[in-house]
Amino acid sequence: MAFAATAAVAATRPRRSPDSGAGPSPQSKSTSPSMALSLPSPQSAALATAAAAAAAGKVSGTIGRLPDECWLRIFAHLEATELASSASPLCCGALALATHPQLWVSLLLLDFCASLTQRAMLRAWLLLHNRFHPRQLYIHKRREHSLDLDLARAELQQRVEQAREQERKQRRLRALNLVQVRITHLLLCMAFLGSTMLLWLRLRHAFRCSFYVVLAPLMAFEVFLLGSSVVVYIVFLLRSSGGWTFYWNRLRGAVRWLILYTSPCEGAAVLLLACAIVPVTACTLQGDLPQVLLQHKHLRFVLPFFVFWLAALVVVCSLVRRRSFSASCAGSFTLLWLPLVSLSVLLFLKLSIFESLSMYAVFAPTLGMTSLLLVFVSFLVIASFWLGYRGNRDWTEYATFTLLTLLTVLIPLLLLQIGILAYLQGKLSTNTLFAPWTSWLACLTLCTACQVGSSVFASSALPADALTRPWRHHDRDPHSDTELLLPPTTTGIV
C-alpha cells in the first residue's frame, strides 16, 4: 500500500527541479517537447487507480498486472531521491524499473538542461560515458551541481562581506571627515565666540578675570586640534598597509592639506608653533614672562610675534623647497600669509619701536587685501549669476555660494577691521564694537551647527546594514540529499 500511495501521489503532481538554486524553472521543464514523461490528468487518475488495485493484490516479486511502460510513466513523475529511497525498496520489480536507463536519462534532461544547447551537450556527454549507467551519471552530475551551488553561494557571501566592509569603511570615513571639517569649524567658531564675549565682559569691567580665562576657549580648541592632528598623522603613517590607503586618499581637512603641501615634519612643526601662539600671548598680556624680557621695552611683546613668525617662516620655506607652486599654494600665500605677516610686523613695530606709527598703516595690508577680495568676489557673483541666467545650473549654484561667502565673511571682516580702527581712535564704544562682532560670530556658530546637524542626520539616515541574504533559509536542511541516491553497493564515478 505504501508503493501504491507513492505512485498515486506521483501521478497527480507536477515535476519540479531538484534544487531551486540552479537549472531551469518548472515551467520551462514541463513545456519542453522532448520531455514527454508527464501524463494528462485523466490518464494520471486512471493510472493511480490501477496502481492502487495492483498493489492491493498480493503478487510476490512483481509490481502488479500493469505493463512496465505504465509504471515507467508513473516513475517519471518521481524525484530522483524518491526513486532511490521510496520506490526501489518495495520489490524486485520496482527496483528493476527504478534503475531503468531511459528513466534516468529523462531525469538528466529534465533536471540539468535549461536550453537546447545544454540538451545537445548533455546528450554528447552521455554518449561519451555510455559505459556507465545513467543512474551513476545522474549522481555524478548532481554532485557537480551541488558543488557549483556551494561555490556560487560562497562567492556571493564573499561579495556581500566585501560590500559590508566597504560600507563600514565609508561610515568611518564620513565620521572622520565630519570631525576634521564640520566639527572643527564649529568648535573654532564657538572658541572665538567665547573668547570675544569674555573679552567684552573684561573690558566693561563686568567680569574680572585674567587673560588665561579670556583665551581659555581658544586654548581648548587648540587641544582638540592637536588631538585630531594625531589621528590624521596615524592614518598618514599607516597609509601603505591594508585598508588605510582608502582613508588617506579620501581624507579631508586642513591638517591633511598641510601634510601634502609641506611635509610631515614641517607640518607638525607648524601645528605646534601655531598652537603655542595663544598660550604665549596670554602669558605676555598677563605679564608672566621672564624678567629679562619685562625689563626691556622692545622685547616685552617679542615672544608671541616670534612664535608666529617662526611658523610662517616654516610654511614659506616648505613652499619654496617644493619649487612648484600650485594655484592653492599661490592663493594661500597671497591672500593669507602675506597680509597676516605684514600686519604682525607692523603691529610689533607699533607696540615696541615706532609708537607713533598710525593704526591705519598697521591695518593697511589686511584692509587692502579684504577690499580687493570684496571687489573680485563681487565680480564673480555677477558673472556667475549671468552665466546661470543663460541656463547653466552649476554656475547658479556657484554664484549662490559665492554670494553667501561675500555676505557672511568678507563684508563682516571688512566692517570689523574698520570698527577696530574706530575703537582704537576713540570713536566707538565697547558695546558698539562688540555687540555686532558677537552677533556675527553667533550667527556663524549657528550656521555651522546646522551644517553639522544636517551632516549627522544624512549619515544616520542610511540603514546600518541594508544588504540582505536572500539565499539563507534557516528552516532549510544545510546537507545535500545526494547521499540518498547512492545504494549500498554503488560508489559512483571517480
Cell output for 174? 564620513
Cell output for 319? 613652499
Judge contact between 215 and 224, C-beta under 8 A: no
Residue with grid cell 564573499, as numbered in its chain: 158
Q: What angle do CA 19, 24, 30 make, to 5 degrees?
A: 105
CA atoms within 13 A on the CB side of 83: 28
Residue 483 DSSP one-character state: G
Residues 6+ apart with CB under 8 A from 188: 221
Residue with grid cell 515507467, as numbered in its chain: 72
Instruction: Residue 137: name the closest of 148, 129, 145 by CA.
Output: 129
Q: Which amino acid is at 184?
A: T
CA atoms within 13 A on the CB side of 424: 11
Using CA atoms, how far apart are residues 200 and 214, in angstroms rounded to an integer?
9
Judge contact between 173 and 251, C-beta under 8 A: yes
Judge contact between 399 and 385, C-beta under 8 A: yes
Using CA atoms, how far apart are residues 352 and 132, in angstroms rounded to an integer?
106
Using CA atoms, how far apart are residues 483 and 238, in angstroms rounded to an integer?
51
Using CA atoms, how far apart are residues 286 and 43, in angstroms rounded to an integer?
108
**What region does 242 belong to: left with phi over 0, alpha with psi -120 to 50, or beta?**
left
Using CA atoms, how far apart are residues 483 and 84, in angstroms rounded to an integer?
10
What's residue 32's pLDDT? 34
Q: What angle do CA 226, 227, 233 make, to 5 degrees?
A: 85
Using CA atoms, how far apart are residues 207 and 221, in angstroms rounded to an integer?
22
DSSP 249-314: HH--SHHHHHHHHS-HHHHHHHHHHHHHHHHHHHHHHHT-S-HHHHH-GGGTTHHHHHHHHHHHHH
Q: What angle do CA 387, 400, 418 make, to 5 degrees?
A: 115
pTM of the model: 0.66
For 29, the 3-state DSSP assignment is helix
Judge contact between 184 and 228, C-beta under 8 A: yes
Using CA atoms, how far apart are residues 223 and 229, in angstroms rounded to an integer?
10
Instruction: Residue 114: name the closest of 35, 42, 191 by CA.
Output: 35
Cell output for 59? 503478487
Q: Walk along the chain (494 residues) in steps of 10 and give the mean pLDDT of each run.
A: 45 44 38 34 40 42 64 74 68 72 81 82 84 84 85 90 90 91 94 94 87 94 95 91 85 89 89 93 84 72 91 86 68 82 92 86 92 88 80 76 85 92 90 93 92 79 42 42 41 38
Q: What angle do CA 381, 382, 386 make, to 5 degrees?
A: 115
Q: Which amino acid is at 14?
A: P
Judge contact between 181 and 456, C-beta under 8 A: no
Cell output for 232? 590624521
Judge contact between 232 and 248, C-beta under 8 A: no
Residue 482 DSSP one-character state: G
**What region does 86 belong to: left with phi over 0, alpha with psi -120 to 50, or beta?**
alpha
